[in-house]
Structure 1
Amino acid sequence: MTQIIEISTQYQLANISALVRAGRLGEPKERRILVVANNSFAPELTPAADAMPGSAGLLADFDAVVDWNATIWPNHPKAFGISGERAPIMERALRREWDIDDDEQLELIVESLPSHPAGALTQIFATADISVHSDGLMSYGPIRNPLTLPQWQRLKSIYYTDLLPGITPRQLAEHDPNRVVLPTDELAGVIDEMAAEVVDELASAHLDAPIEGSALVLGQYLAQLDLITAEEELDLHLQMLDVVKAAGLTTVIFKPHPTSARTTTGPLRRRSEELGLDFVLADVPLLAEIVVSATRPELVVSCFSTGLATAKGLYGCETAAVGTTKLLDALAPYQNSNRIPLTIIDALHSGRYSLPGTLAEAGPSSRVDAGSGAATGAGSDGAKNLNPLIDAVTYCMQSDSASYLRQNAIDFLEGAVGGPDMKYFKRKRLTKLDLPGQQEIPLHRKTLSAAKQRLVLKAKRTQHVLKDYGITVDPSKLRKNG
Structure 2
Amino acid sequence: MTARTQVFYASTLFGAMTLAAALDEGVFGPRGDRRILLVSNNAAVPEITPALDEAPGFAALRSRFDEVRSWNEIIAPLHPSEWRARVVEVPLAGRLLASHLGLDGGIAELVVESIAVPPARTVAGLLRDCPVTVYSDGLMSYGPTRDPLPAEIAGRITRLLHLDLVPGLDPLLLSEYGVRPRTVSGDAFRRVLGEVTGSRSGGTGAEPGEAMILGQYLSALGILTPEEEDRLHADMLRALAARGCASVLFKPHPAAGRRHARRLRETAAALGVRLAVADETVPAESYFAALRPALVVGCFSTGLVTARRLFSLEAATSGTELVLERLAPYENSNRVPATIADALLPRLRADGSLEEPPPADLGALVRAVGYCMQSEAHPDLRDQARAYLDAHGPARYFKRQRLSALGLLPPVAPSPSPLGRLRRRLSRALS
**TM-score between both structures, scaled by the size of structure 1:** 0.79
1:29 to 29, 32, 42: 32
CA distance in 2 between partners of 1:76 and 1:443 (Å): 46
Note if 1:2 corresponds to 2:1: no
Instruction: Please name the residue that 2:429 is paired with.
Output: none
2:339 to 320, 340, 343: 343
**Structure 1, residues 323-372: CA drift from partner, whole Å, max 9, x if none?**
111111111111111111110100012xxxxxxxxxxxxxxxx2036xx7
The answer to which of 284-293 and 332-341 deviates more is: 284-293
CA distance in 2 between partners of 1:91 and 1:283 (Å): 37
| Counterpart contact for 1:239–1:373, Cα < 8 Å | no
Structure 2: which amino acid aligns with 1:187? F
CA distance in 1 between partners of 2:88 and 2:267 (Å): 60
Identity %: 38
Instruction: Please name the residue that 2:101 is paired with.
Output: 98
Cα 1:37–1:435, aligned 2, differ >3 Å: closer, same or farther? same
**Structure 1, residues 170-201: CA drift from partner, whole Å, max 9, x if none?**
1111112132211222112212211117x3x8
CA distance in 1 between partners of 2:411 and 2:177 (Å): 33
Shift of 1:14: 0.9
CA distance in 1 between partners of 2:91 and 2:227 (Å): 51
The answer to which of 220-229 and 117-126 deviates more is: 220-229
CA distance in 1 between partners of 2:179 and 2:280 (Å): 38
CA distance in 1 between partners of 2:351 and 2:323 (Å): 15
Instruction: Please name the residue that 2:422 is paired with.
Output: none
CA distance in 2 between partners of 1:84 and 1:338 (Å): 29
Between structure 1 and structure 2, the one with the greater Rg is 1
**Structure 1, residues 286-338: CA drift from partner, whole Å, max 9, x if none?**
12112222211011011111110111122111001111111111111111111
Cα 1:411–1:47, aligned 2, differ >3 Å: closer, same or farther? same
| Counterpart contact for 1:323–1:368, Cα < 8 Å | no
Instruction: Tell me the secondary structure at the aligned position of residue 411 of structure 1.
Output: helix
Instruction: Please name the residue that 1:368 is paired with.
Output: 348
Note if 1:71 corresponds to 2:44: no
Instruction: Please name the residue that 2:366 is paired with.
Output: 390
Q: List gaps (5 residues or longer) in structure 1.
A: 350-365, 445-482
CA distance in 1 between partners of 2:133 and 2:374 (Å): 21
CA distance in 2 between partners of 1:72 and 1:223 (Å): 27
The answer to which of 259-268 and 166-175 deviates more is: 259-268
Structure 1: which amino acid aligns with 2:326? A
Shift of 1:275: 4.7
Structure 2: which amino acid aligns with 1:22? E
Cα 1:31–1:179, aligned 2, differ >3 Å: closer, same or farther? farther
Shift of 1:166: 1.2
Instruction: Please name the residue that 2:392 is paired with.
Output: 416
Note if 1:219 corresponds to 2:215: yes
Higher RCO, Cα 8 Å, sep 6+:
2
| Counterpart contact for 2:336–2:369, Cα < 8 Å | yes
Shift of 1:217: 0.9
Q: List gaps (5 residues or longer) in structure 2.
A: 417-431
Instruction: Please name the residue that 2:152 is paired with.
Output: 150
CA distance in 2 between partners of 1:245 and 1:268 (Å): 13
Structure 1: which amino acid aligns with 2:348? V
The answer to which of 405-414 and 239-248 deviates more is: 239-248
Instruction: Please name the residue that 1:315 is paired with.
Output: 311
**CA-based RMSD:** 2.5
Structure 2: which amino acid aligns with 1:206? G
Structure 2: which amino acid aligns with 1:26? G
Structure 2: which amino acid aligns with 1:37? S
Structure 2: which amino acid aligns with 1:141? G
Cα 1:269–1:74, aligned 2, differ >3 Å: closer, same or farther? closer
Instruction: Please name the residue that 1:400 is paired with.
Output: 376
Instruction: Please name the residue that 1:479 is paired with.
Output: none
Please list, as runs of the form range in 1=range in 2, the aligned pairs for 1:220-299 lying within 5 A after superposition: 220-260=216-256, 262-265=258-261, 268-272=264-268, 275-299=271-295
1:303 to 294, 299, 303: 299
Note if 1:16 corresponds to 2:19: yes
Shift of 1:274: 5.2
Shift of 1:416: 1.5
Structure 2: which amino acid aligns with 1:182? V
CA distance in 2 between partners of 1:18 and 1:329 (Å): 36
Structure 1: which amino acid aligns with 2:412? E
Shift of 1:441: 4.2
Instruction: Tell me the secondary structure at the aligned position of residue 192 of structure 2.
Output: helix
Instruction: Tell me the secondary structure at the aligned position of residue 410 of structure 1.
Output: helix
| Counterpart contact for 2:209–2:291, Cα < 8 Å | no
Instruction: Please name the residue that 1:428 is paired with.
Output: 401
